[in-house]
Structure 1
């Protein structure tokens, strides 16, 4: 288990076999009987944390928008460990790395929130809002940290 701290928040990254969030796959592994373990968002594959954050149709769509926005060639990942390994080896400046980490952490948080809203409060979050929420929340986290003085307009144009 690893912890990454950035922008006044921490994201807990679990080993693939120690995943703790209540995805359908984890609930099934804990002995809960479910009628359907397919992804709530795409109904295509078994719902796991990695699927929800990296390979679900909606995740792929959001990742694609973020790749265009940040304007760097981010590869595709299967899980958090692959993302972290790539991020640690990426040659951006420390400020760029912090901003990119905040963006990806926000992307993950928003996708998980969307999944939960889809399950518990359908209609509360709209798919069209996800990208804008990622840009807004990641900006606020970086700005509120106190060390990053980028304007909202500049953030929207070139966050890194």
Structure 2
């Protein structure tokens, strides 16, 4: 709950964080930026904490809405789609590899950077090699573990991976920054763990289990 972490200390806000592991490196700077921005944020009194999904007008996540977005994926502004809309680009090649045209499926699945990252994700989950032929395979959960709880964790991992691939791509395009796959994998592990544990109060998942054996998790507590 936000009320357990942020409280008034005179005119300013104070923070009482509880971390599974202490922030280090770049994360410390991002945390400080967050805290600075929160100082001017006006919290709604009496309102309950909630998560908002910005891709849906009402802020509520549904698998149906996600499926609709996937089916309309040509709206994602990769270079090929931007070119189709009449924007004059120097090139429609993938900014990550420069080997092929940047389509949605290339950016998320078949680009060498994306393939390397997915291989690391599958290795982390002890799942062998990626078996996606298109985005529908990913969002329909064709590679999910049979274990019910683990399958939910795997789907969360897939979605966070897709988000991170697009974020890293945009950092490369707009800021000239390039992350390597091990760095992105660590970020995916941290972000997916935070998302899962924040949304699932009754799911008893610890950090070490998440890092070492995510595919074997089956919570009975």
Q: TM-score, normalised by structure 1?
A: 0.84
Which is worse superposed, 143-152 or 53-62?
A: 143-152
- Compared with structure 1, are the counterparts of its residues 89 and 43 closer, same or farther at alpha carbon in structure 2 (3 Å cutoff)? closer
Instruction: Indicate yes or no: 2:181 matched with 1:115.
Output: no
1:32 Cα deviation after fit: 1.1
1:21 Cα deviation after fit: 1.2
Q: Which runs of 5+ in 2 are unaligned?
A: 1-61, 216-221
Structure (1/2) with the larger helix percentage: 1
Aligned mates of 1:43, 1:91 — CA distance in 2 = 34
Instruction: Indicate yes or no: 2:92 matched with 1:33.
Output: no
User: How big is each residue's C-alpha offset from its partner over 1:62-95, in whole Å with a ceiling of 9 and x where there is no partner?
Assistant: 011111100124542232112234x157451221
Aligned mates of 2:169, 2:63 — CA distance in 1 = 23
Show structure 1 runs of 4+ deviating over 6 A.
none
Q: TM-score, normalised by structure 2?
A: 0.62
RMSD (CA atoms): 2.2
The higher-RCO structure (CA 8 Å, 6+ apart) is: 1
Matched-pair contact (CA < 8 Å) for 2:78–2:102: yes
Aligned mates of 1:133, 1:67 — CA distance in 2 = 15
Aligned mates of 2:209, 2:128 — CA distance in 1 = 20
- Compared with structure 1, are the counterparts of its residues 78 and 25 closer, same or farther at alpha carbon in structure 2 (3 Å cutoff)? farther
Matched-pair contact (CA < 8 Å) for 2:119–2:129: no
Aligned mates of 1:18, 1:63 — CA distance in 2 = 20
Instruction: Tell which structure's C-alpha radius of gyration is larger.
Output: 2
User: How big is each residue's C-alpha offset from its partner over 1:103-124, in whole Å with a ceiling of 9 and x where there is no partner?
Assistant: 111111001000000011122x
User: How big is each residue's C-alpha offset from its partner over 1:113-156, in whole Å with a ceiling of 9 and x where there is no partner?
Assistant: 00000011122x52241010011111111111123211111100
- Compared with structure 1, are the counterparts of its residues 133 and 95 closer, same or farther at alpha carbon in structure 2 (3 Å cutoff)? same
Return the match for 1:4 from 44, 63, 68: 63
- Compared with structure 1, are the counterparts of its residues 60 and 32 closer, same or farther at alpha carbon in structure 2 (3 Å cutoff)? same
**Number of residue equivalences:** 151
Instruction: Indicate yes or no: 2:196 matched with 1:142.
Output: yes
- Compared with structure 1, are the counterparts of its residues 12 and 42 closer, same or farther at alpha carbon in structure 2 (3 Å cutoff)? farther
Structure 1 SS opposite 2:208: helix
Matched-pair contact (CA < 8 Å) for 1:14–1:20: no
